[in-house]
A and B are shown apart, each in its own frame.
Chain A
């Protein structure tokens, strides 16, 4: 009888322990999650917002430090005069200074590789495909964000990151004409811009924890 009591007590204790762990901690070291995201790029050199899609994996290395591995594809309509496509692939480190139950704010910083392509508008009378320009560069990004946990596995995350491109600029100009804008991808009248190309990325993501690795 005594043995039965011991078994029952052990089972109740272990069940209680498992329940407590599942209920209280939204973020812990060793967690691996995957998710999708939509990104808006604003305050760039063109002053034109872009819409993007992407995904990310998050691997948490410590209770207060997470890592994010992401890829984004963003397209911009250059005032009807052309299209700019951007692709980012990179990583970031996220630091959690404090956790407020379901809300967990964080500081984020990282690095990425960036591909950009600018396609001027062609018409039935003019083929401007030879004027397409593109380049690879790298960039650094940093900002703030917060998770909101709907349950212990699923969270919505919003972040704002400022991204600075470290490589060469894509030299092009949007010129206002009487019939709208014209995209000049071979500007000869201006000096090469020495400023860092930069923009703000606002990202909303959906994330699901799929594993606790350690």
Chain B
């Protein structure tokens, strides 16, 4: 009887441990506005959404930026949507988690400045192009007790829009903050 009792206790401990080990990861998702700074006193506004998987201080994150508008002295793009997938290193596992990361990505962009002649239609065309970009990011998460987390983040984006006309740098310093959901 005592033996059965000990085995039951061990199974219970094992079960609790297993449950705990199942919860050593987090799913993070967030939606935010992300203003950016380009050269020549130009600013952009993007809608940012992401889905991340965090385990053992490593977060894998897929991220999308939807270009809303740009303004200033040289708003050079009429389209600049971006997709990223990469990893972040979280320095702590407490509720306050600073992190750094790198994400390779692609930009679907269209210059608003440089068009090219279509000889058939005799019209100017502004070609859209997909080009590689990279992004170095740093920020912090502050996790609440349940479901929500606050994040503040900044990133530098580098790349170049290359279509059939003059190339244009996609370089941008971007900021975002907001509330996210975590499971």
Contact = CB atoms under 8 A, between A and B. Distances in A.
B124 to A, nearest CB: 6
Interface in A9-51: 11, 36-38, 51
Given A127-B116, A208-B58, A122 B89 contact: no
A75 B134 CA distance: 13
B6 to A, nearest CB: 5
Interface string B106-149: 10000000011111000010000111111000000000000000
Contact of B164 (A1, A53, A129, A150): A129
Nearest to B134: A38
Report the contact-size class of chain A (Cβ under 8 Å from the partner): 35 or more
A206 B104 CA distance: 10
Interface string B11-27: 00000000000000000
B165 A126 contact: no
A75 B132 contact: yes
A123 B165 contact: yes
Interface in B125-180: 129-134, 158-160, 162-167
A80 interface: yes
B60 interface: yes
Contacts of A119: 163-164
Given A36-B85, A38-B104, A127-B116, A83 B132 contact: no
Interface in A114-131: 119-129
Contacts of B166: 80, 121
Contact of A80 (B2, B55, B167): B167
Nearest to A34: B60
A105 interface: no
B35 interface: no
A121 B106 contact: no
A74 interface: yes
Contacts of A126: 117
Question: What 3 A-B pairs are tightest by C-beta distance, nearest first?
Answer: A122-B116, A127-B119, A53-B132
